[in-house]
Amino acid sequence: MDIPISRRHFFRSTAALSAAALTRSDSQAAAQSTRFGFTTYQWGQDWDIPKLISNCSQAKVWGVELRTSSKYAHGVELEIGPERRREVKKAFADSPVKLVGMACGERFDSPDPKALKSAIEASKGFLQLSHDVGSSGLRVFPNDFHKEVPREKTIEQIAGALREIGAVAASLGQQVRLESHGSAGDLVSIRAIMDQVGHPAVRVKLNSMSRDKEGKGFEANFNLVKGMLADTLHLHELNDPAFPYLEQMKLLVRSGWSGWQLLEASAKVPDRLQALKEQREIWDRLLADALKG
């Protein structure tokens, strides 16, 4: 026997199904837009490019940021010539692992004009290197306030340097990723710097530090920069209770952020590949929990 269905019940049921489908769609989109990656400082410092690609593939880590300015086995530095740059680009292009960034140690806080100029020029060189090897952006530091220099002057100096290298980045299709690092790298100071930069190629790279909880609290600090975020950020050991990784994941998902969450791990472990796999599993659980709301 057919059971009559009222129009009100029909539309209520249809609306509920549509809302459920939309929720699933939003969750799937969020899961696809944020991805887990790896930065070679420090666990990857003695992995050459073939080893790096192999290990990341085994750990199901599909994005990599290469650390520069040190004696790393992958050796992607300013000194390498055009042929080697093409080789590096091809190695990643032919693999399932995407080269998503370069991380240099250049900083723009020095009171010494020569040191500042050197950092700016080196950053321009690293941006060209990033472009040549198929990466999309460069991590830089702010970095510190100095007792003999007013904080406002240091903020202005850092912003000016970032505007200069931002113009170069834009011409190369690159992104400058300003990491929240050093005493001038708390998110309140980062926001003050970015307010003076005003260049779309310069973005903020979160560094997942416990100090992000200070002042008005984690969410308030996150909200200061959420509209300025770069398409990569750094994570540290995800089983460290000192940092609110689940809260950060929820805020990123809620904000619609799209990019790579790059593990920068330094813990002494007996097997770094196995540890990388375990960190990936923790990250997967964090994302799943964040998508539950």
- Looking up residue 155, the CATH number of its domain turns out to be 3.20.20.150
pLDDT at 264 over 50: yes
What is the C-alpha separation between 36 and 27, in angstroms, rounded? 16
The pLDDT of residue 70 is 80
What is the C-alpha separation between 157 and 143, in angstroms, rounded? 11
What is the C-alpha separation between 151 and 154, in angstroms, rounded? 5
Residue 15 in any domain: the answer is no
Q: Which long-range contacts (CB under 8 A, 24 or more apart) does 19-25 make?
A: none
The pLDDT of residue 162 is 98
The pLDDT of residue 15 is 41
pLDDT at 9 over 50: no
Could you give the angle at the alpha carbon of 200 between the alpha carbons of 158 and 117, nearest 5°? Answer: 30
Task: State whether the Cα torsion 278-251-202-209 is positive or negative.
Answer: negative
pLDDT at 59 over 80: yes
Residue 118 in any domain: the answer is yes
Residue 3 in any domain: the answer is no
Residue 202 in any domain: the answer is yes
SS3 string, the chain, reads CCCCCCHHHHHHHHHHHHHHHHHHHHHHHHHHHEEEEEECCCCCCCCCHHHHHHHHHHCCCCEEEEECCCCCCCCCCCCCCHHHHHHHHHHHHCCCCEEEEEEEEEECCCCCHHHHHHHHHHHHHHHHHHHHCCCCEEEEECCCCCCCCCHHHHHHHHHHHHHHHHHHHHHCCCEEEEECCCCCCCHHHHHHHHHHHCCCCEEEECCCCHHHHCCCCHHHHHHHHHHHECCEEEECCCCCCCCCHHHHHHHHHHHCCCEEEEECCCCCCCCHHHHHHHHHHHHHHHHHHHHCC
The pLDDT of residue 40 is 97
Decide if 61 contacts 38 (C-beta within 8 A): yes
Would strands 34-39 and 175-179 be described as parallel, antiparallel, or unpaired?
unpaired
Q: Which of 30-44, 47-61, 155-169, 170-184 has the lowest mean pLDDT?
A: 30-44
The pLDDT of residue 167 is 98
Residue 21 in any domain: the answer is no
The pLDDT of residue 245 is 98
The pLDDT of residue 71 is 85
Could you give the angle at the alpha carbon of 70 between the alpha carbons of 65 and 72, nearest 5°? Answer: 60
Residue 274 in any domain: the answer is yes
pLDDT at 26 over 80: no
The pLDDT of residue 28 is 54
Residue 246 in any domain: the answer is yes
pLDDT average, residue stretch 25-38: 72
Residue 1 in any domain: the answer is no
The count of other CB atoms within 10 Å of the CB of residue 226 is: 17
pTM: 0.89
The pLDDT of residue 17 is 38
Number of domains in the chain: 1
Residue 21's pLDDT band (cuts 50, 70, 90) = very low
Domain with 265, as residue range(s), is 37-291
Q: What are the tens digits of pLDDT across the range 175-220?
A: 999 999 999 999 999 999 999 999 999 999 999 999 999 999 999 9
Residue 10's pLDDT band (cuts 50, 70, 90) = very low
